[in-house]
Amino acid sequence: MANNFIWGSNGVLPKIEEHTKRKLDVLKNYLDVYFETVVRNPALDQLNIALVDGFSGGGAYIDAAETRPGSPLVLLKSVEEAVGKLNEGRTKPLEINARFIFVDDEREHVEALRRELRRNGYADDDPRITILNGTFVEHLPAIIHQIKLTQRKGRSIFFLDQFGYSDVPMSAIRTIFTTLDRAEVVLNFAIDSLLNYLQEASAGLQLYQQFGVDDRFISDWQQRKDEHMGRAITQRALMAHIHMNSGAKFFTPFMLWSRTDNRWMMLAHLSQHQAARDKMLSVHWQKQNSFTHIGPGGLFSLGYDTRLIESCDSLFSFSEIDKTALNRELVNALPSEVHRIMHEGQLEVSRLLAEIGNRTAGTNNDIFHVLSELAQARELEVFSTKGKLKRPGTRIAISDRLVRPSQTTLFFPSRW
């Protein structure tokens, strides 16, 4: 076991690593954005949600001279802060009815977590908190059952912070998505560890088959000519398989560099709803330099993109320069995509977002911005839900409809 994640009975806390801090920052930011958007509706006065930490650890780390909360406390505090913040200025008070389920298979880690929760003022019999000792997979059926009992839509966030890549089988993720409509999963996956230890015999093992690893995959990987590009391309192939086998419609793979282990980790966000992906993307833009997304940001496909080979400058990081490049790429790529998806010259903006959501690093606002530019250039007409033509340059909304202009244009000249 990696020794930066050992919580012993002596109460000594592990030292936190840089990439663990980043990971927990992203989790915290995501939850902040999540609650802010989900409860934006002023008429809503109660939100039921389950927060599942499937690999909870012992609850705290040492960070220089300070104690730093681990993921269970990040979840608890995020909800408490959200309630405080979201109730400011509300006439109808909002209640977040959150259930927390923490699982860890090491008894000592569970005990350390109990101590840490107590130290932070949570009673042992706090009805909101369930702590389970055992593996995540063995507890999953009961967890799902519990969530379904308390809420119809199964609104839940699963934080699955495994050490490597073998403790969260794809079948478990599929089960989550087939049984809980509003579930989201944030999965830690040691993508480089999987690649570094691949052997010919791995193709015969179910552990690797579930990630699309077969003889061909292994031989392509072993015969890579360029380490950097070969790795980037193989990582993308793995991501595509994980996405396909997860049962989730939306998949946002972002990469986290572990300086200690000298390898890439992947923190993947999986969901069934485009709005959830959009929220996660906005967090990655906020955290710009910590994460690097592999590939261009405009429109790309996950499995294999020749542009990765054509342009060695293919590491996309979330900095301001890339925002400009992204805008340029989207202006070039969106018209043909809109054209391709349009049916009889019409396309709902929501459908466009659902179709391209997985293939862009752009948030909905970035896409709206480009659509608005295209409308100003008379390349598109935009109609509101009420069927009114919007003035070019007016803000685009998710409920709008795009219509092919009657005149031929620069981007849409023929074949309509």
Ligand X SMILES: C[S@@+](CC[C@H](N)C(=O)[O-])C[C@H]1O[C@@H](n2cnc3c(N)ncnc32)[C@H](O)[C@@H]1O
Whether the CB-CB separation of 260 and 17 falls below 8 Å is answered with yes
Q: Between residue 111 and residue 170, which ones bind ligand X under the rule CB under 6 A?
A: 135-136, 161, 163, 167
Binding status of residue 14 toward ligand X by CB under 6 A? no
Closest distance to ligand X from the beta carbon of 301 (Å): 31
Our CB check for ligand X shows the closer of 93 and 134 to be: 134
Our CB check for ligand X shows the closer of 17 and 305 to be: 17
Binding status of residue 5 toward ligand X by CB under 6 A? yes
Q: 343: which residues sit within 8 A by CB, 6+ positions away?
A: none
* Helix segments in 206-270, DSSP class H: 206-209, 215-222, 227-246
Q: Between residue 59 and residue 88, which ones bind ligand X under the rule CB under 6 A?
A: 70-71
Our CB check for ligand X shows the closer of 34 and 158 to be: 158
Residue-by-residue DSSP string for 104-150: ES-HHHHHHHHHHHHHTT--TT-TTEEEEES-HHHHHHHHHHHHHHH
Picking from 190, 202, 192, the residue whose alpha carbon sits closest to that of residue 165 is 190
- Compute how many residues bind ligand X; rule: CB under 6 A: 17
Q: Which stretch binds ligand X (CB under 6 A): 102-110, 239-247, 251-259, 272-280?
A: 102-110
Closest distance to ligand X from the beta carbon of 162 (Å): 6
**Residue among 19, 28, 109, 243 that touches ligand X (CB under 6 A):** 109
Picking from 249, 286, 227, the residue whose alpha carbon sits closest to that of residue 32 is 286
Q: Between residue 371 and residue 400, which ones bind ligand X under the rule CB under 6 A?
A: none
Closest distance to ligand X from the beta carbon of 136 (Å): 4
Binding status of residue 25 toward ligand X by CB under 6 A? no
Closest distance to ligand X from the beta carbon of 61 (Å): 7
Picking from 355, 351, 295, the residue whose alpha carbon sits closest to that of residue 326 is 295
C-alpha radius of gyration, the chain, whole number: 23
- Nearest residue to the partner ligand X, using Cβ: 70
Instruction: Report d(CA 174, CA 179) in Å as an integer.
Output: 8
Our CB check for ligand X shows the closer of 270 and 334 to be: 270
**Residue among 63, 81, 106, 373 that touches ligand X (CB under 6 A):** 106
Binding status of residue 17 toward ligand X by CB under 6 A? no
Whether the CB-CB separation of 150 and 121 falls below 8 Å is answered with no
Closest distance to ligand X from the beta carbon of 350 (Å): 34
Burial of 175 (0-12, 13-18, 19+ CB in 10 A): middle
Picking from 31, 7, 2, the residue whose alpha carbon sits closest to that of residue 276 is 31
Which residue has 């179709």 as its token pair? 355
Closest distance to ligand X from the beta carbon of 297 (Å): 28
Q: Where on the chain is the footprint of ligand X (CB under 6 A)?
A: 5, 24, 55-57, 70-71, 103-106, 109, 135-136, 161, 163, 167
